[in-house]
Amino acid sequence: MTAPGRSLLEDRYGTRPARTSKRTYWLLGASALIVSALVAWVAYVNLGSAPIETQSTSFENLPDNAMEMTFEITRDEPSRPVVCIVRALALDGTESGRKEVLVPPGDSATWMTTVIQNRAEPVTANVFGCSYQVPEYLSTELPPTG
């Protein structure tokens, strides 16, 4: 026989849920560890040190809205050529000139100097980015034509 109040409480609040087994807790814990390891690996790959690092070292205004820029490239694979995009900025912050610079294989740390032609008078210059994916038109090893 059940107490009369007990059935009223079960009707109002329901019965106790079945207990979760230990196996379910182990599976959830293992899944959490796997997901955490995957997130850590993706963060390491995407946020780790860059294979190519650059630093602008100097720039100088030249006549006819040109700017001479010197920058340093440090790369983890010095035997591979690199392409860097350098740009000059006008006083209002807009890009006034841009140029692709081929950095041939060489030392792991290399200094490059280039001249950027601009639409407006430039006030500063920087390296927009560098990559090992050198376009064919910049490559010095083009296949023969004809």
Q: In the predicted model, is pLDDT for residue 99 greater than 80?
A: yes
CA–CA gap between residue 108 and residue 130 (Å, rounded): 14
Instruction: State pLDDT tens for residues 31-74.
Output: 999 999 999 988 887 776 778 888 888 889 999 989 999 999 99
Query: In the chain, pLDDT over 90 holds for what percent of residues?
Result: 43
Q: What share of the chain is helix, strand, coil (3-state, %, to 5)?
A: 25, 40, 35
Name residues whose C-beta falls within 8 Å of residue 88's C-beta, 6 or more positions apart in sequence.
59, 67, 69, 95, 96, 97, 98, 116, 118, 122, 124, 125
Residue 30 banded pLDDT, cuts 50, 70, 90: very high
CATH of 52-134, one of 3.90.1310, 2.40.50, 1.10.3470, 2.60.40: 2.60.40
Q: What is the pLDDT of residue 5?
A: 62
Beta-bridge mates of residue 85: 100, 129
Q: In what order do the strands lie in the sheet with 122-131?
A: 95-103, 82-90, 122-131
This prediction's pTM: 0.63
If you average pLDDT over residues 90-105, what whole number do you get? 91
Q: What is the pLDDT of residue 143?
A: 56
Q: In the predicted model, is pLDDT for residue 15 greater than 80?
A: no
If you average pLDDT over residues 70-82, what whole number do you get? 90
Q: In the predicted model, is pLDDT for residue 12 greater than 90?
A: no
Query: Measuring CA to CA, how many Å separate 10 from each of 14, 20, 35, 108?
Result: 4, 20, 39, 75
Dihedrals phi, psi of 62, to nearest 5 degrees: -120, 165
Instruction: Please state the domain extents for the chain.
Output: 20-49, 52-134
Q: In the predicted model, is pLDDT for residue 135 greater than 60?
A: yes
Q: In the predicted model, is pLDDT for residue 7 greater than 80?
A: no
Residue 144 banded pLDDT, cuts 50, 70, 90: low
